[in-house]
Amino acid sequence: MNYDNILIETHGKVRLVKLNRPQALNALSPELTRELAHALDSFEQDTEVHVVVLTGNEKAFAAGADIKAMKDLTYMQAYKSDFITDTWERITKFRKPTIAAVSGYALGGGCELAMMCDFILAAESAKFGQPEINLGTIPGAGGSQRLTRFVGKSKAMEMVLTARMIDAQEAERCGLVSRVIANDKLIEEALATAQKIAALSMPIVLMAKEAVNHAYEVSLSEGIHFERRLFHSTFGTEDQKEGMNAFIEKRKPIFKNQ
C-alpha cells in the first residue's frame, strides 16, 4: 500500500511514523487512519520492528478527526458503518510499544490517539484538549474515558465540558504525559527512548506492556495475580537467564528474544 497521509522512517528496530497532512493540521481523515492501521498491521508482523514512535509536526500532532470528512454524516451512516471504529482501534490492539511524541495541538481525536499510545512525550509547545463540545458533539474515540483515567474526574470534566486546552506543563503535572522535552529535542529524545526499549528482550517487553495495560481492566488483586503469572513465566525464557547472568558477570546482556 502506498501511503499519502503518513511518512515512515526506519531507525534500526524503531519506526517513526509522522502524520502528514500539514495543510489540515494533521486532521485525522478516514484515509489517514486507514493508512496508520495498515502500517501497524505490517509492523506487527515484522520481527525487525520493536517499537513505534508516532508524531506529527511542530504545529500539530493532530487537531482532531477531520471535521470536513464527517460533518454531513447522518446518524444511520455513522451507526451502520460503525464510523471509523476499526481503523481507530487498531493501535489499542498493537502489541509492541508505542510512544506518542507530541508537538503543538493534540485536540479531539488527536488527543485520543496520543492517549491510545503507551505513553506520551510532550514538547514544550504541546497543547491537549477535547474541544468536541464546541462542534455540538462529544469525544468519540475514548476521550471521556481515557482522559478521566489519566487526569481524574475534575480536570477531565472541565476539559470536556469547556473545551479548555492544557499546555505541556499542566499535562505533565496531571499525569497525561510522562515528560516534557524542549521543542527542538522532542524527536531525538523520543527516538532515544524507543531505542532503549528496542534493545531489550522483545517478549519480556510485550509482557511488561500487557501487565501495565491490565491495570486498566481489572481489580487490583486480579491485576497482581495476572502480573505474578507473567512474572513467573519470564523464568521460562532464555532472556531472563541472560539478563540475570549478565548482571552477575558485570557485562551487558545479549538478548535473543527467546
So which residues are the catalytic ones? Answer: 65, 109, 112, 132
Q: Which of 14, 16, 19, 25 binds ligand DAK (CB under 6 A)?
A: 25
Beta-carbon count within 10 A of 159 CB: 26
> If binding is defined by CB under 6 A, does position 56 make contact with ligand DAK?
no
Q: How many residues bind ligand DAK (CB under 6 A)?
A: 22
In 28-84, which residue ranges form alpha helices assigned H by DSSP? 30-45, 67-70, 75-80
What DSSP element (H or E) covers 66?
Answer: none
Strand arrangement, sheet containing 127-129? 60-62, 105-107, 127-129, 166-167
Q: Which stretch binds ligand DAK (CB under 6 A): 101-109, 149-157, 218-226, 250-258?
A: 101-109
> If binding is defined by CB under 6 A, does position 88 make contact with ligand DAK?
yes
> If binding is defined by CB under 6 A, does position 109 make contact with ligand DAK?
yes
Using alpha carbons, list the distances in angstroms from residue 26 to 3, 9, 67, 100, 215.
Answer: 14, 17, 12, 14, 31
CB-nearer residue toward ligand DAK: 80 or 232: 80
Residue found by looking up cell 496531571 in the block: 174
Q: Which stretch binds ligand DAK (CB under 6 A): 116-124, 130-138, 219-227, 244-252?
A: 130-138
Q: Which of 56, 64, 97, 253 binds ligand DAK (CB under 6 A)?
A: 64
Burial 170-205 (b: 16+ CB within 10 A, else e): bbbebebbeebbeeeebbebbbebbbebbebbbbbb
> If binding is defined by CB under 6 A, does position 140 make contact with ligand DAK?
yes
CB-nearer residue toward ligand DAK: 124 or 227: 124
Tell me the closest approach of the beta carbon of residue 256 to ligand DAK, in angstroms.
39
Strand, helix or coil for residue 72: coil
> If binding is defined by CB under 6 A, does position 211 make contact with ligand DAK?
no
Q: Which stretch binds ligand DAK (CB under 6 A): 20-28, 42-50, 148-156, 195-203?
A: 20-28
Cα–Cα distance measured from residue 155 to residue 209, given in angstroms and rounded to the nearest whole number: 26
Interface residues with ligand DAK (CB under 6 A) are: 24-25, 27, 63-68, 83-85, 88, 105, 107-109, 131-132, 135, 140-141
